[in-house]
Amino acid sequence: MLRGVLRMDDERYLEEAFTLAERGHGGTHPNPLVGAVLVKDEEVVGRGWHLAPGRPHAEANALAEAGERARGATLYCTLEPCSHHGKTPPCADALVAAGIARAVIALGDPNPMVNGRGLRKLREGGVDVELAGATWAQRARRQNAPFLKFQRTGLPLVTYKAAVTLDGKVAAAGGDARWISCLDSRRAVHELRSRVDAVMVGAGTVRRDDPELTVRLADGRDPVRVVISHDGILPADAKVLTGARQVRTIVVVDQVSDAARRLLDARGAELIEAGEGGLRATLEALAGMGLLDILCEGGPTLAGELLAADLIDRVLLFVAPLIVGRGAPDLFAAPAVSAVDGAWRLKDVEWRPVCDDLLLSGTVVHRQG
124 is catalytic: no
Dihedral, 68, 22, 115, 1 alpha carbons, nearest 10: 60
Do 159 and 196 touch, CB atoms closer than 8 A? Answer: yes
**Residues 305/200, Cβ–Cβ less than 8 Å:** no
Q: Which of 11, 16, 42, 59 is catalytic?
A: 59
Region at 98 (left for phi over 0; alpha for psi -120 to 50; beta for the rest): alpha
Radius of gyration of the chain, Cα coordinates, nearest whole angstrom: 23
Three-class SS of residue 82? Answer: coil
Q: Cβ(81)–Cβ(56) under 8 Å?
A: no
Closest CA to 22 of 149, 151, 140, 188: 140
The helix (H) or strand (E) run that includes residue 63 is: helix 58-66
In whole angstroms, give the CA distance from residue 18 to residue 29. Answer: 17
User: Is-contact 110 117, C-beta < 8 A?
Assistant: no
* Burial (0-12, 13-18, 19+ Cβ within 10 Å), 135: exposed
Please name the residues in contact with 301: beta carbons below 8 A apart, sequence gap of 6 or more: 202, 204, 333
Phi first, then psi, for residue 323 (nearest 5°) are -130, 120
Which strands, in side-by-side order, build the sheet including 357-364? 270-273, 249-253, 224-229, 198-202, 293-296, 157-164, 314-319, 357-364, 346-354
Sign of CA dihedral 73, 79, 83, 87: negative
Contacting residues for 161 by C-beta, under 8 A, at least 6 apart? 189, 192, 295, 296, 297, 315, 316, 317, 318
Active site residues: 59
